[in-house]
Amino acid sequence: MMTFSLALRNLARNRRRSITTLAAIVVGTVAILLFGGYTRNIRYGLQIGFVRSSGHLQIQHKDYFLYGSGNPAAYGIADYEHVMDVVRHDPVLAPMLTVVTPTLQLGGIAGNFAAGVSRTVIASGTDVDGQNAMRNWNDYGYDGTPPPLALTHTAPNAAVIGGGVARVLQLCGALGIRSCTRPEDATAHEAQSTAAMPPDIAELSADEARAIPQHKDTRIELLAATARGAPNVATLSVVKADSQGVKELDDIYVGMHLAQAQRLIYGGDPPQVTAILVQLHHTDQIPAARARLEHLLSTSLSADPLEVQDYETLNPSYGQTIGFFAAIFGFISILIGVIVLFTVGNTMSMAVVERTPEIGTLRAMGLRRAGIRSMFVVEGMLLGLLGSVLGIIATLLLALLINHGGITWTPPGRVEAVPLTVRVWGAWAPMIATALGLTLVTIVSSWVPSGRGARINIVSALRHA
């Protein structure tokens, strides 16, 4: 009791130095917690993005994940409706499920034959209602829900393409994409061709061009190999070009109705899908749901060789991004820890020097070395605790300001700007861990000076009076 009281009074004794040291701890706590909150927001944001588009778990044909991209049709799930039915009605899984929906991925060549251009694409056939239901998942309380898919309430042959596909297929004008410019080479080539023509031919050509109706044709042809290996073509009506956030995906994406995709690949044969997406109420249900699915796949659904993949495996960029932010967070935490270590160490060293006569007096009166040590360590600990508590309060206030400040940013892999949010409120475990961690650092940094104080020769210490 006396040790705590003495420590508190000694902190108040040199107020300016204590405040400076506290400020360093407060700033350190705020930096760690705010960046932690920001990282948490990134993690949840990415997770929401993946879970809304591809679910928590996917049931796939065995080896589809590793080899299926080369020939998706060969890795189809034949009796997928039965599989979905079993999953939906399983008494263990049912309470955990929000959506179970199929998807069919395929590779092909999309062409705008009117313009004489084509490119390879990856097409995704989706059940629009199921996908729209998945987009409502919001386990982390983000503001607003995304709009429904562009394919909603569209014709069976409707398609959505990536911005890059639209650009290459020269559909920018027809789809009203403003940011789409034609390559300089093409423009120059046309100008050169016109200039090279005799004037009368050029005039005729212009008249002919004016005579052709300028219809807004957004039709494309999608050529793909059927499950039997024969080529098949589907004519799709592009309703929208949607930016996919990542250029690589933007340049190859074609979204279409599942039935259309199945007709393209399986023709009149029984349709299949390449994956069944399973979305859960909560991410932490993944282990239980996965275990149950694997049990079902090995018992009642053992007819086909199927396997379960989680969203982290299916989206390696998720783990990489989280790892990247975790590394930065760790680096910042260590840096702040070192700063606090030296700041508190310096403060306590100065305190030991200044209070050398006091140390001598207390030792002469009978206080043991351990008593001197604990006096300074408790001072350091109180600085750590007080600084952390003030830091937590400051963080909560700052987070409130940031979250309601209307600041937005566009995260990697996303198209639309999102509010800049730091998720601090409710994250009590990281707060306690930060406070305890920094307090531990202050104890460690007080340990050396306090030991020096405890070892001071009493006679020498008294001479300083």
Partner 1 sequence: MTRTLKPSPCAAVLKDIAKRYRVGSVEIPALRAVSIEIREDCLTAISGPSGSGKTTLLNLIGCIDRPDQGELEVAGTPVAELSDNALSDFRAAHLGFVFQSFNLIPVLTAYENVEYPLRLTNVPPARRRERVLSMLDAVGLSSHARHRPSQLSGGQQQRVAIARALAAAPRVVLADEPTANLDSQTGASIIELMRQMQREHGISVVICSHDPKVIAAADDTVVIQDGRVESVKRSSDIHIVRPHTPVVGSRIQS
| CB of 247 or CB of 368, closer to partner 1 | 368
Interface positions, 6-25, toward partner 1 (CB under 8 A):
6, 9-10, 12-13
Kind of pairing between the strands at 408-409 and 418-419? antiparallel
- Nearer to partner 1 (CB atom), residue 365 or residue 429: 365
Among 17, 78, 361, 390, binds partner 1 (CB under 8 A): 361
Q: Is 362 in the site for partner 1 (CB under 8 A)?
A: yes
Q: Which is nearer to partner 1, 69 or 460 (CB)?
A: 460
Closer residue to partner 1 (CB): 362 or 443? 362
Query: 196 or 465: whose CB is closer to partner 1?
Result: 465
How many residues of this chain bind partner 1 (CB under 8 A)?
Answer: 23
Binding of partner 1 by 350 (CB under 8 A): no
Residue 413 identity: G
* Nearest distance in Å: CB 327, partner 1: 45
Residue 370 beta carbon to partner 1: minimum distance, rounded to whole angstroms: 8
**Minimum CB distance to partner 1 smaller for 117 or for 462:** 462
- When binding is defined by CB under 8 A, the residue of 90, 127, 358, 379 that contacts partner 1 is 358
462 binds partner 1 (CB under 8 A): yes
Nearer to partner 1, 18 or 395 (CB): 18
Given 61, 240, 363, 452, the residue binding partner 1 (CB under 8 A): 363
Q: Which is nearer to partner 1, 155 or 458 (CB)?
A: 458
Pick the binder of partner 1 from 365, 406, 426, 429 (CB under 8 A): 365
CB of 389 to partner 1, least distance (A): 22
- 357 near partner 1 (CB under 8 A): yes
Binding partner 1 (rule: CB under 8 A), the pick from 303, 364, 397, 433 is 364
Using the minimum distance from each CB to partner 1, give the nearer residue, 13 or 247. Answer: 13
Alpha carbon 171 to its chain's center: 31
* Residue 353 interacts with partner 1 (CB under 8 A): yes or no: no
Q: Which x/- pattern, by CB under 8 A, does the window 366-385 give for partner 1?
A: xxxxx---------------
Of the candidate spans 151-159, 324-332, 360-368, 388-396, the one that interacts with partner 1 by CB under 8 A turns out to be 360-368
Q: Residue 384 Cβ, how far from partner 1 at the closest point, in Å?
A: 20
Q: Vertex 282, ends 276 and 288: CA angle to 5°?
A: 70
The residue (of 2 and 195) whose beta carbon lies closer to partner 1 is 2
Give CA–CA dist 175/98, Å, rounded: 34
Q: Which stretch binds partner 1 (CB under 8 A): 120-128, 301-309, 324-332, 363-371?
A: 363-371
Nearest to 123 by CA among 253, 313, 305: 253
Q: Which stretches of the chain bind partner 1, using CB under 8 A?
A: 2, 6, 9-10, 12-13, 357-358, 360-370, 458-459, 462, 465
